[in-house]
């Protein structure tokens, strides 16, 4: 496959011997597949979200909590048939949804594995750096989009994620996601069954970037369109990025700004979430 799936369009013939910018070949590499309880309440619920963590990534976020798998092919290579069966096994465990974490670079295989569709909502959990053309292939197969909106500052995106075009790419991607799902829908148990929830991680010392992200969301969407999750779980990893945790004052300023804009539909966090213990072990469970 001459790869042009992600916005980098690296043009590499991805196969067993050659990897793209994402660090992986064509066949899916799965690092963990298990119920996950540390997403937002409307995703994890009481039975957990069926999280399938894929290895590799088209971003180079130096502060990535999942750095062990995002930077390369740590996991087990699986066929489309096996990936489909992994989905079924999770569904039989009673999870609320199928949560596909950073799977964009395996898009052709994922699309095939979702046929026939699971009997529970499919969540596309991503960094937001995706092409509109690729997302169109997911129309009708994904009910919930859970993208990051990391940056409105291209220079900061280039420095911390190696993607100076991130703001424009992510804006277009999120608009396509919303075009597919329409306004968010919660079921009687408060679970998100359709729609878009935009996540933003507040970075230490970068409140202006956070304010700009929140401004864009407010300017782009009406009340009732999308949910917003303002995350304070930045954790220094010794690899790169700010070398200190977010302060309570910084996070409170971000939360106050979000409220002042009237972005009241969504979630804020306790800063106790900024612990490495909330990152699951990528030990091949369920694969």
pLDDT at 190: 97
Asked whether the whole model's pTM tops 0.85, one would answer yes
Q: Tens digits of per-residue pLDDT, 101-147?
A: 999 999 999 999 999 999 999 999 999 999 999 999 999 999 999 99
The answer to whether residue 94 scores a pLDDT higher than 80 is yes
pLDDT of residue 278: 63
Instruction: Write the pLDDT tens digit of every residue in 197-243.
Output: 999 999 999 999 999 999 999 999 999 999 999 999 998 877 778 98
Lowest mean pLDDT among 71-80, 93-102, 223-232, 246-255: 71-80
Element (H, E) at 32: strand 29-36
Q: What angle do CA 127, 130, 135 make, to 5 degrees?
A: 115
pLDDT value at position 19? 80
- Do residues 160 and 240 make contact, with C-beta atoms less than 8 angstroms apart? yes
Determine what percent of the chain is predicted with pLDDT higher than 70: 96
Is the domain spanning 29-278 CATH 3.20.20.70? The answer is yes
Count of other CB atoms within 10 angstroms of residue 268: 16
Is residue 34 pLDDT above 80, yes or no? yes
């Amino acid at each position: 496959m001459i790869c042009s799936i992600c916005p980098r369009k690296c043009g590499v013939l991805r196969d067993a011997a050659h990897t793209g910018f994402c660090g992986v070949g064509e066949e899916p590499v799965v690092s963990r597949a298990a119920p996950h309880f540390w997403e937002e309440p409307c995703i994890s619920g009481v039975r957990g979200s069926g999280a399938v963590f894929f290895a590799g990534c088209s971003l180079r976020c130096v502060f990535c909590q999942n750095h062990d798998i995002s930077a390369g092919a740590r996991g087990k290579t699986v066929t489309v048939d096996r990936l489909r069966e992994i989905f079924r096994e999770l569904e039989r465990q009673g999870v609320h949804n199928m949560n596909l974490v950073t799977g964009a670079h395996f898009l052709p295989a994922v699309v095939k594995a979702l046929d026939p569709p699971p009997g529970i909502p499919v969540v596309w959990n991503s960094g937001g750096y995706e092409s509109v053309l690729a997302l169109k292939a997911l129309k009708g197969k994904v009910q919930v989009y859970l993208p990051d909106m990391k940056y409105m500052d291209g220079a900061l995106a280039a420095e911390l994620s190696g993607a100076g075009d991130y703001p424009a790419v992510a804006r277009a991607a999120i608009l396509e996601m919303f075009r597919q799902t329409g306004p968010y829908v919660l079921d009687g148990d408060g679970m998100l069954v359709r729609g878009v929830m935009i996540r933003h991680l507040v970075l230490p010392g970068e409140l202006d970037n956070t304010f700009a992200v929140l401004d864009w969301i407010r300017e782009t969407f009406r009340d009732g369109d999308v949910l917003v999750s303002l995350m304070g779980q930045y954790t220094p990893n010794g690899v790169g990025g700010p070398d200190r945790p977010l302060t309570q004052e910084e996070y409170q300023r971000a939360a106050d700004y979000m409220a002042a804009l009237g972005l009241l539909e969504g979630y804020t966090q306790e800063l106790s979430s900024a612990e490495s213990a909330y990152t699951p072990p990528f030990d091949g469970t369920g694969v």
